[in-house]
Structure 1
Amino acid sequence: MIISVISALLLCSTLLVRATFAQLHPTGPASYQRLPSLREQAAILDSWRDERLSKIPDLLNKYRIQAWLISQREYAEDTIWWSIKNATEYAPHRRTVLLFHANTSSLAGRPNPLKWVDNTGAVWPELREILAQYNPRRIALNTDKDVAFGGGLHVGEYEVLAEELGENWMERTVNEPMLGIEYVATRVPGQLKYYRDLQETTWALVEEAFSEQVITPGTTSTEDVEWWFREKMLLLNVTTWNHPRVSVITPESFPGWSGTQDIIDEGDLLHVDFGITAMGLNTDVQHMAYVLRTSQGETNAPEGLKEGLRKANRMQDIVLENMRAGMSGNEVLTACLDQMKAEGIEGQVYSHPIGDWGHSAGAVIGFTNLPTYVPVLGELRILPNTYYSIELYAYSYVPERNETLRFRLEENAYWDQVTEQWNFVYGRQERLHLINATHRPTASLAQPTFVVQP
């Protein structure tokens, strides 16, 4: 249901919710989306990878780098490896050395990257010969101490490089973490269709989990629901990058790395934080549900809970309105906190890039333990053509409970090149999932009967 004008005005009498935030709440229930066959997926993934690799020369020129050298061994991979490998590769064999170049001079027209797979040491004289022909002035190594996507060179590999390349070439090496950050963060247009399918499947998982099909008040535990997610994902041929976290929300509940261990009962406010992984992409969502007190004739959630969700929705608007390419994460965070204060909303923002990884490369906008300023990662600049998880919570007093609760939401957004704004990939939660215990379940936790939509 699109948020009503009345609700929006109650939240902010002077600001309207932007009409460009399309598809805020998809009409009808989400459906499980069938992905291409694994063979087709591999071809798609490799085409995306090739499109991204083609931009490497421009990226090197942007940072005045002539060569980017990556060396790794099996099970000691550079972080960047997972974004440049073939779809059918699961580890770099033996020692795998990659040399990206700016496609100029003696290397013009050569493969980019040049690649060696070797366990005999033959790579080193060949690499030295290539460097002598190319004569790069600045050679980037992934040695950053703060950014994972610029610090994937293992110490042992660095020592081997120092021994084999010698002082002449090592003096030309530099640390430039933005190479890895920009390469991993930048999306290609063809991904969005599939990412939207993954988002809809994520929603479909939440809608089924937060229903009487899975939850029986007084019997089902939060851990039962977590493991239901895990089993169901296997049936859908997707995996996850973090174990699902299902919680019963209380005034003491705080975002963390685990759910709660509760038996779910009528009147509980539930929360889930999880995402799925498929086709080299990751989703990350947080939704909330209410278990109706059907034994007391309740047919809808208390108004106080609905109001809390509306406040969290307004915070999502604020984040999307303030995010601009070129701003630092901390600048966006400050602007959001200032606007929240002006509108009388209390809460916290802790949004992050997403894509190749659940917590992917780029600027973060707050952390749960660093609510007003984040060193290093918060000082990075927001990049366009990337995906973000808009993650946050709003405090809201619930008179029906005489409690102040955190209303925790998260949805994924993309940069729309046409409108030059951030839009949600699939939608956002604007009404609580309702669990009606009077409806007879048609599936069980032990042996679910699931149907994947064609």
Structure 2
Amino acid sequence: MNILPLLITIAGSVFFACTYGQLHPDIPSRYRALPPLREQARILDAWKEERISRIPALLKKYDIDAWLMSMREHAEDPVWWSIKNATQFAAHRRTVLLFHTNTSYLAGRPNPLVWVDNTGQVWDDLRFILMQYQSKRIALNTDKNIAFGGGLHVGEWLELYEQLPYEWMKAVSEPMLAVEYIATRVSGQLGYYRLLQETVWAMIEEAFSERVIKPGATSTVDLEWWFREKIQAQNLSTWVHPRVSVITPESFPGWAGTDDIIREGDLLHVDFGVTAMGMNTDTQHMAYVLRTSEGETDAPNGLIEGIKKANRMQDLVLSQMKPGKTGNAVLQSSLKQMETESITGQIYCHPIGDYAHAPGAVMGKPISVSASLRIMTFLVGFTNLPEYVPVLGELPILPETWYSIELYAYHFVPERKETLRFRLEETVYWVDEQRGWDFVYGRQERLHLINWPPSDVHGSKLLVQS
């Protein structure tokens, strides 16, 4: 018997019991090994079977008799990546899937019915089954607004139109089938996801330290590529290239970091994500380079207070995120509370899971700030939109979905006479009605400190040779 999954589950449970309610862990994070690939495949296939078993109930929820997908290699439906076997890396030939509600005709048959075909025989089989099944409402992934519900390629739609009777092609577009299916996690994932998140923290703690950064020599681009190499060394995949920035009033969150030599007194930021076991992370932390040449041993108080303000924004968002509430409702009530507390900032939260920008309700908008601040409006998640986010903002918060709480707070730092953005991002999950949301691993509540030159074993500073 392979006891590794059991040990990991137990370890995850013990870790959870020890850290529930703890937000910034007091001890250094550790790199956590995931199971060997063969064991990962077994786990992933078990998760897939559990998830697929829920689809008939999901079809009934939306009054759908059958859910039909057709795709080819290199033109897969986004849903396919969440229903495939762990050892599949592409859809073969033409792959057709028919999920059904197990009525009398199809009771006891596989669900879904699957064809892998390059002869055209699939269409004869499918016509016969649908005729006998007498399904009234067939769902096709043809939604024009939600990508996860719009994965039927035009070429496949044309083929279906030619092969199936017209009355069956008057199909239903129900994007919530894909949204709910992909977004809903299974019970066994949390322990492994927590291990993955701790590894991300360990990576950030190492990167934002004197072990990696030498002020005056190391650049932000150097640090980005250090992350890439470290991700690969941990047998993880990169979801998005790390973006490392020196934070200034002019630096804006976006798709690239800055290109700077890191120096004493710099406020640093990283935004990156990794992928493993079909799960993705998306994390943003900040760090400060101590002015050790001036005897500085901690960050200026203004920077410390900026992190606290961003933490308060996280609290406000989580207090408003009630299951069933729309993303727009959460956004607007959070902004109202921010205004009450005189907090200025921007919220752009999103679901995360099988995809780092996963299906579900988004919460994001550009904010209004005083005219004295020079603001541009752009960002990762719908930050170019007004207070109302069309379509995705009107989706409901789903309790069995992970959410990335992504935001920044503006804070005036007296020591620098500057207003800066304090940018944080962590992932949360729903615990229960009583306890609400909790962070998967923790959240940053204090700046990572780079203390160069490093100390030797006797505590004295090592001299830097020119």
TM over 0.5: yes
What do the CA deviations read for 1:23-61 (whole angstroms, capped 9, x no partner)?
Answer: 211120100001000000000001011000000010000
- Cα 1:228/1:409, change in 2 over 3 Å: same
Map of 2:316 onto structure 1: 318
- AA aligned to 2:110 is P
Map of 1:297 onto structure 2: 295
Map of 1:450 onto structure 2: none
Secondary structure at the counterpart of residue 404 of structure 1:
strand
Deviation at 1:418, TM superposition (A): 6.3
- Cα 1:156/1:108, change in 2 over 3 Å: same
Deviation at 1:90, TM superposition (A): 0.2
State the alpha-carbon separation in 1 of the partners of residues 456 and 387 from structure 2. 45
State the alpha-carbon separation in 1 of the partners of residues 238 and 65 from structure 2. 37
Deviation at 1:417, TM superposition (A): 3.1
Q: Percent identity?
A: 69
- AA aligned to 1:354 is I
TM-score, length basis structure 1: 0.91
Map of 1:252 onto structure 2: 250
List gaps (5 residues or longer) in structure 1. Answer: 1-19, 443-454
What do the CA deviations read for 1:389-434 (whole angstroms, capped 9, x no partner)?
Answer: 0000000000000000000000000011363511100000000000
For residue 414 of structure 1, the aligned residue among 412, 419, 429 is 429
Map of 1:156 onto structure 2: 155
What do the CA deviations read for 1:77-122 (whole angstroms, capped 9, x no partner)?
Answer: 0010000000000000000000000111211111110000001111
Map of 1:374 onto structure 2: 389
Structure 1 residue 283 and structure 2 residue 277: aligned?
Answer: no
State the alpha-carbon separation in 1 of the partners of residues 455 and 151 from structure 2. 52
- AA aligned to 2:451 is N
Deviation at 1:160, TM superposition (A): 0.3
State the alpha-carbon separation in 2 of the partners of residues 223 and 368 from structure 1. 25
Map of 1:390 onto structure 2: 405
Asked if the contact 1:212–1:441 (Cα under 8 Å) also holds between the matched residues in 2, the reply is no
Map of 2:165 onto structure 1: 166
Secondary structure at the counterpart of residue 238 of structure 2:
coil
Asked if the contact 1:270–1:290 (Cα under 8 Å) also holds between the matched residues in 2, the reply is yes
State the alpha-carbon separation in 1 of the partners of residues 456 and 94 from structure 2. 54
For residue 309 of structure 1, the aligned residue among 285, 288, 307 is 307
- AA aligned to 2:204 is V
Map of 1:423 onto structure 2: 438
State the alpha-carbon separation in 1 of the partners of residues 55 and 456 from structure 2. 53
Map of 2:95 onto structure 1: 96
Map of 1:452 onto structure 2: none
Matching of residues 23-34 of structure 1 within 5 Å? 23-34=22-33
Aligned residue pair count: 422
Runs of 4+ in 1 over 6 A off after TM superposition: none
Map of 1:48 onto structure 2: 47
- Cα 1:51/1:301, change in 2 over 3 Å: same
Map of 1:146 onto structure 2: 145
State the alpha-carbon separation in 1 of the partners of residues 131 and 456 from structure 2. 70
For residue 449 of structure 2, the aligned residue among 426, 434, 451 is 434
Deviates more, 1:371-380 or 1:111-120: 371-380
State the alpha-carbon separation in 2 of the partners of residues 44 and 374 from structure 1. 37
Asked if the contact 1:349–1:371 (Cα under 8 Å) also holds between the matched residues in 2, the reply is no
Secondary structure at the counterpart of residue 208 of structure 1:
helix
- AA aligned to 1:299 is T
Higher RCO (Cα < 8 Å, 6 or more apart)? 1
TM-score, length basis structure 2: 0.89
Map of 1:272 onto structure 2: 270
State the alpha-carbon separation in 2 of the partners of residues 162 and 440 from structure 1. 71
List gaps (5 residues or longer) in structure 2. Answer: 1-18, 365-381, 458-466
Deviation at 1:440, TM superposition (A): 6.1
Map of 2:375 onto structure 1: none
State the alpha-carbon separation in 1 of the partners of residues 45 and 123 from structure 2. 28
- Cα 1:133/1:420, change in 2 over 3 Å: farther
State the alpha-carbon separation in 2 of the partners of residues 360 and 440 from structure 1. 43
Deviation at 1:166, TM superposition (A): 2.5
State the alpha-carbon separation in 2 of the partners of residues 145 and 89 from structure 1. 28
State the alpha-carbon separation in 2 of the partners of residues 419 and 30 from structure 1. 28
CA RMSD of aligned residues (A): 1.3
Asked if the contact 1:273–1:287 (Cα under 8 Å) also holds between the matched residues in 2, the reply is yes
Asked if the contact 1:150–1:177 (Cα under 8 Å) also holds between the matched residues in 2, the reply is yes
